Amino acid sequence: MMKPLFAATALALLSACSGSWETSYEATKDPVVTRGWHVHGLSVVVPEEATTTEANSYAPDADIVWHGDPFGDRKAQVAEIVRTGVMRGMSGLRGPRGVDVQIILEEFHALTPAARSRAPSAVHNITYVVQVFDEQTGEAITEPERIRADLVAYTGVAAIEAVTQGQTQKVRITDHIERVTEGWLGIGPDPRQEFGSVGR
């Protein structure tokens, strides 16, 4: 059982971090245009100045928070998750024009074990900037666009049940980024929404 002082402190921290979150991007691309692309290359860059932490608190103050893989290079781990999700979301593009996709990851703030087990609600905060270039000429086809791919996180019993069904944080986040990418490209349902939860 949570000690009263710890519980009060945790609830105060969670209240301070509650707010509105969203899956959003400026505009859906024209599918007539995007279906003319095929992906030649896709890179995900995590800026050197992006902060990381292994702190097991409710909402650690860092750009990269990830505990869904064994301890290691957290920046590389989350970059690979984003890359996999975006690549899967673009896999339906088989047009004649080769494109290179560049992504700059601004935030990847998933749940710590403490938040996952004890928070009443939570959110995965994921933000990145994407830009598409012509593979042959290097010409920018799109402007840099910020995508917020926030996702409601599972906590407590719901988190345990999700894992038993294979829905780990990594699986859910990767699948969500795939859907967001398809929506942004105009080749899948529009996933944009706002929701209230607890997050950083």
* 42 part of a folded domain: yes
* 47 part of a folded domain: yes
* 198 part of a folded domain: no
* CA pair distance 150, 28, nearest whole angstrom: 17
* CA pair distance 47, 102, nearest whole angstrom: 13
Alpha carbon distances (Å) from 105 to 12, 76, 81, 126: 30, 11, 11, 8
CATH classification of the domain holding 106: 3.40.50
Total-model pTM: 0.89
Across residues 162-189, what is the average pLDDT? 98
Q: In which domain, by residue range, is 75 found?
A: 4-192
pLDDT tens digits for 170-180? 999 999 999 99
* Number of domains making up the chain: 1
Say what the pLDDT of residue 116 is: 95
How much of the chain is helix, strand and coil, in % rounded to 5? 35, 30, 35
* 199 part of a folded domain: no
